[in-house]
Amino acid sequence: MSEALVSTDPTPNKLPAATSTKPSLLARIIDAAIEITAIVVWAYIIVQVFVFDLDRIVRSYLPSSCAWVVDFKFVFVLIIAAGLGCLIRRIWKPLTYVIFYPVIVLFWKIPFLALKQRSWALAIAFINAVASFFGSIRYNLIIPAVLFAAGSIILFGNSTALISLSTAALLALLLLAYGRRLISIFKTPRVFQIYQKVASWVPKIRTSSCSLDEDIRGLPYEQLSAEQAQKWRQNLVTSLLLSRVCLFAARKLRSYSKSGYAKISSVFICAFLIALTVVIFGLINLGLYKIEPTSYRSTGRPNSLTFFHYSLNRMIFNPISELEPVGALPKLAYDAEALFALFLVAIFVSLLLSARPERQTQDLNETIEKLEAESAAVDLAITVEYRFDTVDTAVAALEKIQSGTTSLIQTLSGNL
């Protein structure tokens, strides 16, 4: 049957060359202005909500008679947007771009950049990062929520009880973050568990979708009815796609395993823990100072930045003369931050040099071997069920029967 279906025409189909139009200078200027606007707007939102009150700083530099400008900033923004809407017909496009800019960056710009680099290892590293974030989304929402709520109370509040409660909450949050990272050293990453689960589905898909029915198995394609021929083609396309997808995924995962991108996540984890430790202990020391100012010795009246500077230097075991702990609780916090710094070094070494990377590589290799084995099993089933000599012969036969159905299969095969 395979000889009758394989095409002997060596002439490939030719597609007309695609033409591209270079954007004009005005269009590029407009795009750059929209991009800068989106960056400025979201930088303002992030700093205003999560870092410090920009409005208060701007208001402090304005005359008291002009302070109302800050309070009515959103009114001015709406007026400007309405004016632009009168001048520009499709104002909804740039507005939508600005509003959803973080989503566009995360799910379009970064993946596009990874694909533009033609590095599937980099693309898989990005997929792993996204999957890890959404895999523990509750934890990733709790961290900033508690941090910003407690931090706001310490920075702007005056209630001793609330400040005490906030410092305790921040310390508990830091213990939770370090505890999760310590546990992760001995566990398989969640994203690798997803890979293993997906690989376990392949045998079920192969059994349910790739086998021919008994009434058409062994019959020449020319003797099949229209309905049977459709079923034959559908099952063959599914089998070929499953085989190529499994082999493609296995090859790209192996490339990722051999690359250094897996260690980059460990570096980011440690950088995140360093930043979190500095911020939390800066806030804790500020809270302790507000509760009892005499518990610290300072050269002058310290501001908020002094405590973050103090915390950062404590992480590298460098005392500063501007601020020194005197009371029992500040000294306890001083020693606790040193212990967290040492613990962080231990976590960093464990993430990079311990058995964790070897175990992750072993888990990933098991998934790769399963995918390669399933690809080989599907290839064998194709040669047995459809009586082709090779998988390439089956692809050529399918292309002759129904032109254009094997483009995706050929694309995957070409990128193995």
Where in the chain are the domains?
Answer: 27-99, 190-414
Q: Do 289 and 301 meet the contact criterion of CB atoms below 8 Å apart? A: no
Contacts of 109 by beta carbon, 8 Å cutoff, 6+ apart = none
- SS3 (DSSP) at 67: coil
- Assign 85 a pLDDT band (cuts: 50, 70, 90): low
Q: What is the C-alpha separation between 152 and 34, in angstroms, rounded?
A: 32
d(CA 155, CA 289): 11
- At 11, the pLDDT band (50, 70, 90 cuts) reads very low
Mean pLDDT of 384-397: 80
Q: Which two tokens stand for residue 226?
A: 């229209």
- Model confidence, pTM: 0.59
pLDDT of residue 3: 45
Q: What is the pLDDT of residues 251-272, one digit of tens each?
A: 888 888 777 676 776 777 788 8
Structural tokens at position 374: 């399933």
CA distance 369 to 80: 59
Of 109, 152, 121, nearest to 304 by C-alpha is 152
pLDDT at 10: 43
Question: Could you tell me the pLDDT band of residue 114, with boundaries at 50, 70 and 90?
Answer: low
User: Mean pLDDT across the stretch 2-22?
Assistant: 45
Of 72-86, 272-286, 341-355, 385-399, the least confident: 72-86
Flag whether pLDDT at 38 surpasses 70.
Answer: yes
State the average pLDDT for the chain.
77
* CB 182, CB 357: distance < 8 Å: no
User: Residue type at 218?
Assistant: G
Cβ neighbors of 172 (< 8 A, separation 6 or more) are none
pLDDT digits (tens, 9 = 90+) for 210-240: 777 777 777 777 777 788 778 888 888 888 8
- Tokens 């931050």 sit at which residue? 337
- Please name every residue paired with 297 in a beta bridge, in sequence order, or none if there are none: 324
